[in-house]
Structure 1
Amino acid sequence: MPVSPVERNDHSEPNAEAFIFGFDFLPDGSVAKVDWTSSKSTAACPSHGWRWLHFNRLAAETRDWLGSSSDLNEAVIAALLQTESRPRCAPYEDGLLLNLRGINHNPGAEPEDMISVRIWATQNLVLSMRSYPVKAIHDVRDGIGRDVPGTPAALLALIASRLVDYIDPVVEQLKDEVDEFEEVMLSEHGQLTPRVLAEFRRTILLLRRYVQPQTEAMQQLQREARMRRDGAPGFDDDDQVTLRDTTDHIMRIAEELDSIRERAAVIQDQVAGQRQEQVNKRLLALSIVSAIFLPLSYVTGLLGMNLAGIPYQTEEWSFGVVLTVTTVLGLGVVGFLKWRRWI
């Protein structure tokens, strides 16, 4: 029968309770929910079988319990509580430190603001932490009663797979959006604003910021699974197949994001070229108007000159001299422009 874990603060705040849920996986294959009231004063590792504990990383009680009762190494505690961390996988003594990112499905949040899931795993303990609810973790929790992971390694592989699975729909949505942008640009009167494209590219960059390191973390986890170090979670053949498929999946997602980013850059160049073409058309219209009125301005200026006070204003040849001087100046300017190859 499905096991209903003790769970609180599904929409937790930083000051909410520390413990979210926990399971004890017993040697006979049964699963029992962790009674945190009686267990929080004891060490994290159980006396028999293995255990999964899930915490709210931002709660003060979590830090207190890790420091006073968990019996974990200080370096491990510091890594679990680190404020900001890129996805990574690092072996440490008898366990694995794993930091992965999951899509943010919380109300009012943007999916690209991925939530960090910190995990410390040994042969008899999986200790996971998050700052805000992660849908992938809840899916794994809800499926415990139907599909019980046999080892901590199997649980790690399952969590990693679920986290990556939820990234895929977001990337597919971005792919559909860039397809729509290309259709708009190919339409006769299609126009896109730079602001829309800038926001779209920002979303891609935020996702790539975590997906690319997550790819490297999964590759490292796959290598650690093959090494089978003493004390670390033991990955069997099925677990390694799951890790390999998950690694291939996240690599395809990273490649798809790169492709979407390149397509968005091309579209942005097209938008910039389109705007420049519009500016050039307006400048051409102004140039044509100027070309039409420039001779008229010259003639009206020439005939409307005020000659009072100019030497030889009463002579008949004075107007011819003025006309000749302006013509020579005009031809001189044209010659200079041709000499500089500006026209």
Structure 2
Amino acid sequence: MPVCAFDIAPDGTARPASENGPAEGYAWWHFDLSDPELPGWLAARVPAIPAAALMAPETRPRCDRYGDGLMLNFRGVNLNADGPADQMVAVRMWVTQRLIVTVRMRKIFALDAIRQEAVTGTAPASPIAFVHDLAQRLMTRVQDTVFDLSHRVDDMEDSVHDDDAPLPEDLAEEQRMAIRLRRYLAPQRDALIALVGTDSELVTSDARARLRELGNLAKLTVEELEAMVGRMDAVQDHHAAQADLVHSRNGYILSIVAAVFLPLGFITGLFGVNVAGMPGVDTPWAFAALCIGLVVLTVAAIWILRKLKWI
């Protein structure tokens, strides 16, 4: 059984779908991919190649003309409770002048909004208007998600001005999110551009102009994601450079300490051997002289290191 099915008139009013379709307008049938009746229904009403595309378990955004129809795949952010937003949901579509078939694997809120419009008699008036409305709703939600991510990246960039600020804990996850979003939105941008350029009679001049704006929005969104990936890389590089600087400074200090105390360690070790013949063993002031000599040696070592501009 379909999730919903409507016969939609040119004025946007809708009624439950009939087997023969509406006298005017188009029919919209919306299915879940797990519906056991879907393969047989598609075999009876949809050409084999579009039917196979609708049944595909894995998809990427696309726009391909087949005969008098269009095979479309779009992606939207996941607003369901079963996963993160960047685990994008897919909608598969077959669009002709008289029929739209949509197939989902998970709930798509943009399609639910169109279904509510059909119930209230304000559905898209034509198949290409349906495609535009769906793409617009999907891209609006995508853009909101990308803007939220951009604000979080802004906060990360502000943290680089504080040298004592630690590396943001969620930096790696935000990087993965931006990469996953870009993975699907880049082909979606290409699909929208291809839809604008198609010679299908479905795409009117007015619809082409509106779809072109969506294509531009998709371009801007992908460019923003690419910029964010670079910005987060810069934040990570900055913190890595700060950590390297601290490690280098600590290593430098330890090297200086080692250079100063190396001769002292040698002398104290030499005088600490328990063998006969050590000078000063029978002299009461020998220990004081040794201590004074060590102080003089320390001062001399520091002076030499400064003279060599090592410190």
TM-score normalised by the shorter chain: which range applies? 0.7 to 0.9
Q: 1:306 Cα shift?
A: 6.6
The answer to whether structure 1 residue 179 and structure 2 residue 154 are counterparts is yes
Using the size of structure 2 for normalisation, the TM-score is: 0.82
CA–CA separation in structure 2 for the residues paired with 1:167 and 1:185: 28
Letter of the aligned partner of 2:58 in structure 1?
E
**Which residue number corresponds to residue 60 of structure 1?**
36
Letter of the aligned partner of 1:273 in structure 2?
A
The answer to whether structure 1 residue 252 and structure 2 residue 220 are counterparts is yes
Using the size of structure 1 for normalisation, the TM-score is: 0.75
Residues 198, 30 of structure 1: alpha-carbon distance in 2 compared, 3 angstrom cutoff: closer
Q: 1:177 Cα shift?
A: 0.5
Letter of the aligned partner of 1:149 in structure 2?
P
Q: Quick check: 1:50–1:124 contact (8 Å CA) kept in 2? A: yes
Residue ranges of structure 1 left out of the alignment (5+ in a row):
1-17, 315-342
Residues 241, 32 of structure 1: alpha-carbon distance in 2 compared, 3 angstrom cutoff: same
CA–CA separation in structure 1 for the residues paired with 2:273 and 2:220: 76
User: Which consecutive aligned stretches of 4+ in structure 1 deviate over 4 angstroms post-superposition?
Assistant: 45-48, 305-308
Q: Quick check: 2:76–2:90 contact (8 Å CA) kept in 1? A: yes
Q: Give the one of 103, 106, 111 matched to 2:80.
A: 106
CA–CA separation in structure 1 for the residues paired with 2:93 and 2:157: 41
**Which residue number corresponds to residue 52 of structure 2?**
78
Q: 1:305 Cα shift?
A: 4.8
Residues 265, 29 of structure 1: alpha-carbon distance in 2 compared, 3 angstrom cutoff: closer
Q: Quick check: 1:185–1:191 contact (8 Å CA) kept in 2? A: no
Query: How many residues in Structure 1 have an aligned counterpart in Structure 2?
Result: 278
Residues 47, 181 of structure 1: alpha-carbon distance in 2 compared, 3 angstrom cutoff: same
Q: Percent identity?
A: 33
Q: Give the one of 15, 28, 31 matched to 2:14.
A: 31
Letter of the aligned partner of 2:29 in structure 1?
L
SS in 1 for 2:3: strand
For the aligned residues, what is the CA RMSD?
2.3
CA–CA separation in structure 2 for the residues paired with 1:29 and 1:250: 27
CA–CA separation in structure 1 for the residues paired with 2:159 and 2:10: 60
The answer to whether structure 1 residue 118 and structure 2 residue 86 are counterparts is no
Residue ranges of structure 2 left out of the alignment (5+ in a row):
279-309
Q: 1:65 Cα shift?
A: 2.7
**Which residue number corresponds to residue 299 of structure 2?**
none
The answer to whether structure 1 residue 275 and structure 2 residue 239 are counterparts is no
Residues 204, 198 of structure 1: alpha-carbon distance in 2 compared, 3 angstrom cutoff: same
Q: Quick check: 2:71–2:93 contact (8 Å CA) kept in 1? A: yes
Q: 1:291 Cα shift?
A: 2.2
CA–CA separation in structure 1 for the residues paired with 2:11 and 2:248: 78
CA–CA separation in structure 2 for the residues paired with 1:306 and 1:73: 100
Letter of the aligned partner of 2:260 in structure 1?
I
Q: 1:23 Cα shift?
A: 1.2
**Which residue number corresponds to residue 334 of structure 1?**
none
CA–CA separation in structure 1 for the residues paired with 2:10 and 2:187: 36
CA–CA separation in structure 1 for the residues paired with 2:172 and 2:10: 54
SS in 2 for 1:75: helix
Q: Give the one of 268, 271, 291 matched to 1:300.
A: 268
Q: Quick check: 1:99–1:119 contact (8 Å CA) kept in 2? A: yes
CA–CA separation in structure 2 for the residues paired with 1:94 and 1:283: 72
SS in 2 for 1:186: coil
Residues 89, 29 of structure 1: alpha-carbon distance in 2 compared, 3 angstrom cutoff: closer
CA–CA separation in structure 1 for the residues paired with 2:121 and 2:160: 49
The answer to whether structure 1 residue 159 and structure 2 residue 134 are counterparts is yes
Q: Give the one of 135, 139, 144 matched to 1:169.
A: 144
Q: Quick check: 2:12–2:124 contact (8 Å CA) kept in 1? A: no
Letter of the aligned partner of 2:137 in structure 1?
R
CA–CA separation in structure 2 for the residues paired with 1:272 and 1:28: 60
Q: Quick check: 1:52–1:125 contact (8 Å CA) kept in 2? A: yes
Q: Quick check: 1:56–1:131 contact (8 Å CA) kept in 2? A: yes
The answer to whether structure 1 residue 133 and structure 2 residue 101 are counterparts is no
**Which residue number corresponds to residue 182 of structure 2?**
208
